[in-house]
Amino acid sequence: AGGRTGGRSGSAVSTGARAVAIGAVAAACSSGMSTSSSMPRHPSASSPAASGSVSNATVVALHALPGLGPKALVGAGGRTLYLFEGDKNGKPSCLGACATAWPPDLEAAAPQARSGVNPALLGTVHRSDGTTQVTYNGHPLYYFQGDMNPGAGHGQGVNAFGADWYVVGANGSKIGSS
């Protein structure tokens, strides 16, 4: 099932890129992978963080993503942040294989806002596995494993794990929804 681009023509997410993104999600679903991954669950984490001692706070910034209109939230290393429409009442529901394909933005210290990001909208929520996830405007934030480069938005509009995924704007709403 392909995703939507919000009705915008000329989207930077090509059919091939979308196929790669969906393929990555499908591979995660069908591989029987556990929630651990070769990609750090908190992409800004250094080696000590991978061993469980994250000391640097996530920095949330804004970055223009080609073809998606307004600037979107990015986290560690300029990687695009997404919201999952399957999350209800601010509670993360992306677990197991879902969290492998869409790693949550995990945090050990209070997240920090860069210019244009409203610090009042930044927060955290506790996940069922005991970790703490960054939120924005009440939406738990995730990365997409198919985004290999900073500023990539291959997960935009993808329908996976029972709901749609969208990049997040400065106002805390999804970008590119129809």
Q: What is the mean pLDDT of the chain?
A: 76
Q: Cβ of 95: how many Cβ atoms within 10 Å?
A: 14
What tens digit of pLDDT does each residue of 80-126 get? 999 999 999 999 999 999 999 999 999 888 899 999 999 999 999 99
Asked if 74 and 61 count as a contact pair (C-beta separation under 8 A), the reply is yes
In whole angstroms, give the CA distance from residue 170 to residue 62.
Answer: 7
pLDDT at 1 over 50: no
Q: Taking the model in full, what pTM does it have?
A: 0.71
For 138-164, what is the mean pLDDT?
Answer: 96
Environment class of residue 21 by beta-carbon count within 10 Å: exposed (0-12), middle (13-18) or buried (19+)? buried
Residue found under tokens 């695009």: 80
pLDDT on residue 56: 59
Q: Is the pLDDT of residue 31 over 60?
A: no
pLDDT at residue 127 tops 70 = yes
Residue 147 has pLDDT above 50, yes or no: yes
Cβ–Cβ under 8 Å, residues 156 and 68: yes
pLDDT at 109: 84
Q: Is the pLDDT of residue 25 over 60?
A: no
CA 140/CA 106 separation, integer angstroms: 10
CB-based contact 104:94 (threshold 8 Å): yes
The predicted-structure confidence for 39-93, as pLDDT tens digits, reads as follows 333 443 332 233 233 335 789 999 998 888 889 999 989 999 999 999 999 999 9
Spatial separation of the C-alpha atoms in residues 170 and 95, rounded to whole Å: 26
pLDDT exceeding 90 applies to what percent of the chain?
58
More confident residue, 86 or 19: 86
User: What's the pLDDT at 19?
Assistant: 38
Of 172, 177, 148, residue with least CA distance to 17? 148
Dist CA 33 CA 30 (whole Å) = 8
